[in-house]
Amino acid sequence: MSAAGELLIEQPSQDSLQVILSGHWKLGESLPSADVVQQRVAGTPGVRNIVFDTRQLADWDSGLLIFLINLREFCTQQKLPIDDSGLPQGARKLLALAAAVPEKKDARKAESKVSFFTHVGSETVDFFRSSGEMLTFIGETVIAFGNLLRGRAQYRKSDLWLVVESCGGQALPIVSLICFLVGLILAFIGAIQLKLFGAQIYVADLVGIAMVRLMAAIMTGIVMAGRTGGAFAAQLGTMQVNQEIDALKTLGISPMEFLVLPRMLALALMMPLLCLYANVLGILGGMVVGVGMLDIGFIQYYNETAKAINLWNLGIGLFSGTVFGVIVALSGCMRGMQCGRSASAVGGAATSAVVTAIVGIILSTALITVLCNILGI
């Protein structure tokens, strides 16, 4: 069995060095460094050429290539020619391939030299460009809804019901868990303070108003943003990569009507129903704390909750849920339609859809809260 990679340097003539390679030149072996040859060249004046002898070379892999590339870089800096005719044919081809497309030395440095103001400027330009694209997409969506109202929209009702099932019934388990725990947490936090004043019964008011008016809609919207908005973006993005959307355009079918419209309708219809369901689960979570920890009777808790909630609170919650559903569907479909033509772009589109939807939900929540405060409702 041959030994690990070995290196021997001879000087057959006054102006030439011969590098003799033998043994196994593989990454798992203990291989000599190119520094040995560099030191020999530096200590031997008058060397004008380097040749190789690999007749005793057993086998090789990337370990040999790393040695040769490092040596070639040194010889290039020293303007010292290399005769690679003695190397294995495969190694010569790989070296030629590596030299055909050299690495751009200044690529990373150019990225690191971008100034703060340049970065801010580019981000500002990107913001205005993406805002324009968003307004364009919203306009196309409005046109698609107009065609729907006139009975001219090109979509399949079977697709609509499939999306309704996906973002409705299949979302109940995660919505149940999240909203039940949110109601429980609200009741527990409120109970700690209300017990100081002997007003534990008002935990029912706190949980009921908070869940019905806003919290159920917000939590359901965030859950649907991560679950459904990202799925919409991934589905449409994959269709963009596979050129299925281009095929629809070629057939004269509007992608906005055929793909986006069913998803928008499904979420706009299902979000109010999910909010009603989330209201019940959140109130049940608060009831667990009220009955189990605060010794409030079940009937007493129920009556206090019914007295605290009014139709205005319920209407604001359902309206908020509908708005959040439109935002989630709009974000997911928009990012999916804007997706690039690569697999990595699909993941980026899904992530961007979730972030856009959550930001939109928070901004619209603030706007709705301010408007309700101004109107006194």
CATH of domain 6-104: 3.30.750.24
* pLDDT recorded at residue 105: 56
Residue 24 has pLDDT above 70, yes or no: yes
Q: Is the dihedral of CA 106, 110, 111, 112 positive or negative?
A: positive
| Maximum mean pLDDT: which of 57-66, 104-113, 174-183 | 174-183
Residue 58 has pLDDT above 60, yes or no: yes
CA 138 – CA 133 distance, rounded (Å): 9
pLDDT per position as a tens digit, 264-279:
999 999 999 999 999 9
254: left (phi over 0), alpha (psi -120 to 50) or beta: beta
Where are the domains positioned within the chain? 6-104, 129-375
Identify the residue with better confidence: 205 or 112.
205
DSSP H helices in 195-229: 203-210, 216-224
* pLDDT recorded at residue 234: 92
CA dihedral of 163, 165, 166, 169, whole degrees rounded to 10: 150
* pLDDT recorded at residue 1: 45
Please choose, from the candidates 294, 302, 299, 232, the residue with its C-alpha nearest in 3D space to the C-alpha of residue 262. Answer: 232
CA 206 – CA 226 distance, rounded (Å): 27
CA 158 – CA 355 distance, rounded (Å): 29
